[in-house]
Amino acid sequence: MARLVDYLPLFSQQKILVIGDMIADEFIIGQPERLSREAPVLILQHTGHKILPGGGTNAANNVAALGGQVYLAGVIGDDRVGEELVDYLDKAGMKTEGLIIDSSRPTSVKTRILAGGGQTVKQQMVRVDKLKTDNISKEIEEKLLTYIEEIISEIDAIILSDYGNGVFTDRVKERVINLANQNNKITAVDSRYDLNTFKNITIATPNKEETEKAVGFPLDSTENIRKAGLKLKEELNSDAMLVTLGGQGMQIFSEEGISHVPASNYTEVFDVTGAGDTVIATLTLSLASKAKMVEAMKLSNYAAGIVVKKSGVATVNREELTEVIGDTV
pTM: predicted TM-score of the whole model, two decimal places: 0.94
Residue 160 pLDDT > 80 = yes
Q: Catalytic residue, from 90, 239, 277, 327: name it.
A: 277
Q: Are 86 and 96 in contact (CB under 8 A)?
A: yes
Residue 57: φ, ψ to 5°: -70, -25
| Sign of the torsion angle spanned by Cα atoms 268, 273, 277, 280 | positive
- Asked whether residue 46 is domain-assigned, the answer is no
Mean pLDDT of all residues belonging to the chain: 93
Residue pLDDT, tens place only, 12-57: 999 999 999 999 999 999 999 999 999 999 999 999 999 999 999 9
pLDDT band for position 86 (50/70/90)? very high
The pLDDT assigned to 208 comes to: 94
| Alpha-carbon span 188 to 205, nearest angstrom | 8
- Asked whether residue 276 is domain-assigned, the answer is yes
- Cα distances (angstroms) measured from residue 139 to each of 17, 99, 199: 21, 14, 24
- Asked whether residue 165 is domain-assigned, the answer is yes
Residue 100 pLDDT > 60 = yes
Name which of 64-73, 114-123, 238-247 the model is least confident about: 114-123
Residue 311 pLDDT > 80 = no
The pLDDT assigned to 235 comes to: 97
Total of domains in the chain: 1
pLDDT band for position 314 (50/70/90)? confident
- Asked whether residue 279 is domain-assigned, the answer is yes
Q: Is 277 part of the annotated catalytic residue set?
A: yes
Higher pLDDT, 314 or 176: 176
Residue pLDDT, tens place only, 218-266: 999 999 999 999 999 999 999 999 999 988 899 999 998 999 999 876 5
- Asked whether residue 223 is domain-assigned, the answer is yes
Q: What CATH number is given to the structural domain containing 92?
A: 3.40.1190.20
Three-state SS at 33: strand
- Asked whether residue 119 is domain-assigned, the answer is no
The DSSP output letter for 269 is: -
- Asked whether residue 45 is domain-assigned, the answer is no
pLDDT band for position 271 (50/70/90)? very low
Instruction: Give the residue among 145, 143, 110 at the shortest CA–CA distance from 128.
Output: 110
Which residue type sits at 313? V
Query: Residue 29: enclosing H or E segment and its boundaries?
Result: strand 22-35
pLDDT band for position 327 (50/70/90)? confident
pLDDT band for position 267 (50/70/90)? low
**Helix axis angle, 293-307 to 318-325, nearest 10°:** 110
Name which of 75-89, 234-248, 300-314 the model is least confident about: 300-314
- Asked whether residue 246 is domain-assigned, the answer is yes
Longest CA pairwise span in the chain (Å): 68
For the chain, the C-alpha Rg in angstroms (whole number) is 20
Residue 177: φ, ψ to 5°: -65, -40
Residue 310: φ, ψ to 5°: -105, 155
Per the structure, the complete domain to which residue 142 belongs is given by 4-23+54-107+132-325
| Alpha-carbon span 315 to 275, nearest angstrom | 9
